Structure 1
Amino acid sequence: MRIVVLGGAGKMGCIAVQDLAGDGRVDEVVIADYNRENARFVADFIRSSKITVQFADVNDHAGLVQVLRGADACLNATVYYTNLAVMEACLEAGVPYTDLGGLFHTTRKQLALHDRFAERGISAVLGVGSAPGIPNVQARYAADRLDTIEYIRIYDGIKPPAPDDMRFTYAVPTILDEMSLSPVVYREGEFVSVPPLTGFEDYLFAPPLGLLPMHYSLHSEVATLPVTFRDKGVRECFFKINYWGMAKETVEKVKVLADFGFDSAEPLEVKGKPVVPREVMVAMMGRFVPPLEEFLAPPRHQPPDWVKEIVTEVKGTKEGEGVLYRLGTLTVKGALPTGVAPARAAIWLAEGRIPPGVHPPEAVLEPLPFFRELANRDIVTQVTVTTTLR
């Protein structure tokens, strides 16, 4: 089994490479990346004979197709802007595809490729990271056990860093988009845009996380779950997070810069030369990204000293009785599920377990086997069911 990890030298990609290299089902893991130096660092750190390194440029379609040919699956761990281009390359190369998410709008565009993938007999499953990904499968678990669904509410709780910790632990462009783009929620059969950093509520997570302030954020789960389970009558679906895993103080600082226009993609003329404020901001924020070895290092905590819980609450009915499912997936290393989940999805694709076409996770990933895969890496899922005694 040969799996290509595009962006395998990046923050989430390197975790996927590490997980795949340690899986007995995988024969070869290709780190396909533009940054040769980082790719070699990741390979040297993991020290597995399964790992090979290839240069890849997602803007070079022909070159990317060549890298992909002969692979059993492609795991796209690059920033979501590349998703559609990489899928086109996978179509030409005849390679199954998965990624970490498309931030709602891109996911919708990707789903439109379903017929083309199905006609070619190629499989793709979208948005299989920590979130999106795990919440989709959690929702599927509950939906399989309910006759009707009233709501699907997702809460991504992360242990808050210290107020003076200004690190950014995933793709900076995605962070800026999540902070500035309007979240979309599903209410009474309609998708509705709401302002960023609204909808605050305190939500109780498993100890030691406890009570955390949660707010709306744009996410891909909301793009697919109400559609997948429309026949069960879903009336509400949203995604909330606590400051994207950053300190509230850091979010406020970034927001001030955005308010001044530093996240604008419109060029400004500075001393006779065009300068794109957003590119400057991304470059400056990139200085506060942790080094790769921090993503590859063993967890600093051990269960049950959890640092993150991904919760999906699904309320509905079974045989006329009201039922509430709460599924919480816990980890002792916040970034770990974001690399492990797509790695396991890539293996399932390579094994032919996903039907041809382009699918959201909840449509094709069987919950119990998938949760068992995660549990092998100490990413554990707990389920509580609340019913009314009569």
Structure 2
Amino acid sequence: MKRNVLIIGAGGVAQVVAHKCAQNNDILGDLHIASRTKSKCDAILQTVADKGAMKQDGVFTSHAVDAMDSAAVAALIREVGAQIVINVGTAFVNMTVLDACIETGAAYIDTAIHEDPEKICETPPWYGNYEWKKRALCAEKGVTAILGAGFDPGVVNAFARYAIDTYMDEVTSIDIVDINAGSHGKYFATNFDPEINFREFTGTVYYWEDQKWKETSMFASGREWDLPVVGKQKAYQSGHDEVHSLAANYPQADVRFWMGFGDHYINVFTVLQNLGLLSEKPVTTAEGLEVVPLKLVKACLPDPSSLAPDYTGNTCIGDLVKGTKDGAPVEVFVYNVADHAEAYAEVGSQGISYTAGVPAVAAAMLVASGEWDAKTMKNIEELDPKPFFTILDDIGLPTRVEFNGKDTAWNA
């Protein structure tokens, strides 16, 4: 049984992970959190203390580390005796943290695919450009690496596998739909790191259809979805992490990702993009200052964690999976609905951070118990979804299923 967890990162998702680890420290053991700015970690630990989140008395300490320095991360893993590392720092640090885990033997868990700061929307499959290159080494050294253990990617990957295994002989399509029907009351803001958020939408939108990669552009393909709780919502086809692993594991199926956007978001985004303010390339001002426009926009926007106190409404994220059973067509919608205000009341974070952070802790608990301690690299759909759903049900993200006109719990 693996115990003792090191959390990398100190943003909104890290706060959720910290609270959920604390609530389950009887399973996860000693807890540590590290970021380049230790004071941010200390602030998160204070929220854990204020909520009385620790299930039992135990260790929860903060540390400073530059997660871009693999040797420094490895040294910290050894110092604190961490056997599980939950990486919820920026996606730019995935590979250095993964390398540290491979060096030390600690299990690695992240919530998003690695990104190179100098590149946007690389050629598919994205995982093949980075993490998957370390798969053979993980297997050779017996290191567990669970990739994309957030909600999307993460839980939606498990939704797909569950729908296919439970209801189908063959799968023909997987459409992932992410709707945030909440309101944060700001003129304009992103629900997670603005730099990462915008980078997702400024490049080519890749999707898998007819057993090959196809391309479109952001906001070029949209449709209205009628979903539980949030009702009718417009969503647009977007590029996203899980499309790349699901396409590899279910190559016979069309795989697409759809994200909800309001007209106001699209208008502001379009103006920023047309002005060149979403570029990751440096520009020089008339005064001789070198500035990266995207980083400037990020600095001017609200910190996503600051949105939590006033956030209201719900998210609905799920998979519409189609296929055949005994030669007849079937379709099933597997989903979760989360409430922003409830998330804030429990852990002091908004619902987007909550849905991203809770699954990573569920994955850590499964690694700790041995059920997901794979001793190699896995994407979520390559692991048994049922124990994952069982823990998610218990710790705040219940799974629902719409099938044949009925809406039930997944295990009803």
Q: Deviations over 1:156-177 (max 9, x none)?
A: 1111427754232211111111
5+ residue gaps, structure 1, are none
Aligned equivalents of 1:198, 1:42: Cα separation in 2: 40
Structure 1 range deviating more: 373-382 or 137-146? 373-382
Q: Which residue of 1 aligns with 2:343?
A: none
Distance 2:5 2:185 in 1: 40
Please, which of 267, 272, 284 is the counterpart of residue 300 of structure 2? Answer: 284
Matched, 1:343 2:343: no
Q: Is the 8 A contact 1:98 1:125 kept in 2?
A: yes
C-alpha distance in structure 2 between counterparts of 1:89 and 1:327, whole Å: 35
C-alpha separation in 2, matches of 1:262 and 1:315: 40
How far does the alpha carbon of each residue in 1:15-68 deviate from its partner, in whole angstroms, 9 at most, with x for none? 011101101312222111112111111101111443111111112222111112
Whichever residue aligns with residue 32 of structure 1, its letter is A
Residue identity matched to 1:256? V
Matches within 5 A, 1:1-390: 1-7=3-9, 9-23=10-24, 24-47=26-49, 48=54, 49-69=58-78, 70-102=81-113, 106-108=126-128, 109-145=130-166, 146-161=168-183, 165-207=187-229, 209-230=230-251, 233-234=252-253, 236-243=254-261, 247-270=262-285, 271-285=287-301, 287-291=302-306, 307-333=314-340, 334-335=351-352, 336-354=354-372, 355-364=374-383, 366-386=384-404
Query: 1:113 aligns to what SS in structure 2?
Result: helix
Q: Deviations over 1:79-117 (max 9, x none)?
A: 112111211111111111111111776533212211000
Secondary structure at 2:404 match in 1? strand
2:264 partner SS: helix
Give TM-score scaled by structure 2 length. 0.84
CA contact (8 A) 1:134 1:310 kept: no
User: Per the alignment, do residues 101 and 129 of structure 1 end up closer, same or farther by CA in structure 2, a change over 3 Å counting?
Assistant: same
Q: Distance in 2 between matches of 1:204 and 1:123?
A: 39
Question: For the aligned residues, what is the CA RMSD?
Answer: 2.1
Please give the TM-score of this superposition, normalised by the length of structure 1. 0.89
Q: What percent identity do the matched residue pairs reach?
A: 22
AA aligned opposite 1:60: D
Distance in structure 2 (CA, Å) of the matches to 1:123 and 1:312: 27
Tell me how far apart the structure 1 counterparts of residues 396 and 97 of structure 2 sit (CA, whole Å): 31
Which AA in structure 1 matches 2:91?
Y
Q: CA deviation at 1:384?
A: 2.3
In the TM superposition, what is the alpha-carbon distance from 1:288 to its structure 2 partner? 4.7
How many residues were matched structurally? 369
Gap runs ≥5 in structure 2 = 115-123, 341-350, 406-412
CA distance in 1 between partners of 2:39 and 2:170 (Å): 52
CA distance in 2, matches of 1:44, 1:200: 43
